[in-house]
Amino acid sequence: MPEPRPLGREFGSVQLTDTETAEQKAVPLEHPTGEVTLRDALALALMNNPRLAAFSWEVRAREANVIQAGLLPNPEITIELENFGGSGATSGFDGSENTLWLSQLIELGGKRTKRRTVADFDRAVAGWDYESARIDTLTEVALAFSQLLAAQERHALSEELVGVTEEALRIVGEQVKAGAVSAVEKYRAEVALASSRVELAWRVRQLNAARKLLAATWGSTNVSFSGVAGALDEGISPPPSEAALVRQVEENPDLARWTTELSARRALVALEDSRRIPDVTLGGGPRWFNETDDNAFVLELSVPLPLFDRNQGAALEARRRVAKASEERRAAQVDVTTALGTAYESLAATYEAIVSLQRDVLPKAQAAFDGATSAYRRGVFRYLDVLDAQRTLFALRSEYLDTLAAHHRDIARVERLVGRPLGEF
């Protein structure tokens, strides 16, 4: 199996022994409790994800195929009885001839070695497929973890909004009692509070769904943990240059596998070419003549005549599949490079949006809301002005969380495409 790519190499993953069965592998999963870190989630998924385990079984199956491919053909034993059960001198067994025949197929042209080579390459290709599945699992966990982290922060923002609207309703109620404002403004504040509570209930549902999605990455339907640890704005840094990422695109196992795949198909060409050489069957053994009580040895050499079938079709098919693999490799290169370019543009755009929101937009929106609230207390602004500033501030903070979540998704996708963490660039 190929060595693990740099992405997630510090974690163990599903590894099966040659004699292990599915029943032996199935052990009760220890469900995490409390807050789960990203490292915890990655480790749990790599050890327990059922789709990843399925790829590991495929690797083991192909290892068994390597054993089978290297075995010699079995010899054959034949017993022949001739000249019995007829008439006259052959009516019984006294005139019969009995032969004990042992034969062995002798493969020529190095077929067994070439067959084992093909099986070895097939096993290596399965190893690359396992590596792709391993990195897919890492990406799936990173995406689910960031989605849950975003759901937690959106939930916290909705709770804060409910608190702000409750405080606003209290202030408006005092103003109404004092006769400073119309009762209509109290109705507006009550509507705003009811709306924020509806949004909070929706965020609770989203949070529960995100927790289930993360638990599914380690093959669990039991959500026993309370949440995840961390913050969306932690570790946000400028992305590396696109050129540096493109130089590392060969780390992607979806591309790296094609070198092995091409070798496997070329090995199959050599195997099919060797099958043009006919195999020899050598046989022989003792023969007993019951009538004369004599015995002798019989020897046979059987060689097929390759007059019609010289395996020319299979050899041509194998060569054409090499040409097909070359085109598939080129297509994969284009697909991965294009996907990387697209993901990088999104990564750079979300980073720029995060910086702009942090430095300029959110501080000004917060200042506008604080100023409107203060002015309303002094009777300078109407409640509509406060409500407008509040909606603007919380809409921008929600947009900020959405942008952070999108940035984390972009990081996970770019890391999947280059096969290593962005922090190593």
Neighbouring C-beta atoms of residue 259, cutoff 10 Å: 13
Give the highest mean pLDDT range of 184-198, 289-303, 319-333. Answer: 319-333
Q: Is the pLDDT of residue 362 over 90?
A: yes
Tens digits of residue pLDDT in 95-105: 678 888 899 99
Pick from 22-36, 114-128, 344-358: least confident: 22-36
Q: Is the pLDDT of residue 19 over 90?
A: no
**What is the rounded average pLDDT of the residues 28-37?**
82
Q: Is the pLDDT of residue 409 over 70?
A: yes
Report the candidate in 362, 348, 345, 359 with the shortest Cα–Cα distance to residue 399.
362
Please indicate whether residue 184 or residue 266 has the higher confidence score (pLDDT).
Answer: 266
Helix axes 183-216, 111-177, angle to 10 degrees: 160
Q: Is the pLDDT of residue 33 over 70?
A: yes
Q: Which domains does the chain have, with CATH numbers?
A: 31-71+107-276+311-424 (1.20.1600.10), 80-106+286-310 (no CATH)
Sheet holding 76-82, edge to edge: 76-82, 97-106, 280-289, 294-302
**What is the rounded average pLDDT of the residues 308-314?**
94
Residue 338's pLDDT is 95
Residue 86's pLDDT is 63
Residue 87's pLDDT is 64
Residue 20's pLDDT is 54
Separation between Cα atoms, residue 143 and residue 137, nearest integer Å: 10
Residue 145's pLDDT is 96
Q: Is the pLDDT of residue 227 over 90?
A: yes
Residue 368's pLDDT is 93
Residue 184's pLDDT is 85
**What is the rounded average pLDDT of the residues 70-98?**
79
139: Cβ–Cβ under 8 A, 6 or more apart, which residues?
412, 413, 415, 416
Query: How far, CA to CA in Å, does 270 sit from each of 53, 245, 316, 329, 336?
Result: 33, 37, 11, 21, 31
Q: Is the pLDDT of residue 36 over 70?
A: yes
Share of the chain above pLDDT 70, in %: 91
Neighbouring C-beta atoms of residue 336, cutoff 10 Å: 19
Residue 217's pLDDT is 93
Tens digits of residue pLDDT in 114-128: 999 999 999 999 999
Q: State which amino acid sits at residue 4.
A: P
Q: Is the pLDDT of residue 81 over 90?
A: no
298: Cβ–Cβ under 8 A, 6 or more apart, which residues?
99, 101, 284, 285, 286, 287
Phi and psi torsions of 252, nearest 5°:
-65, 120
User: What mean pLDDT is reported for the chain?
Assistant: 89
Torsion of CA 202, 206, 208, 212, to 10 degrees: 160
pLDDT confidence of 177, banded at 50, 70, 90?
confident
- What would the two tokens of residue 235 be? 């570790």
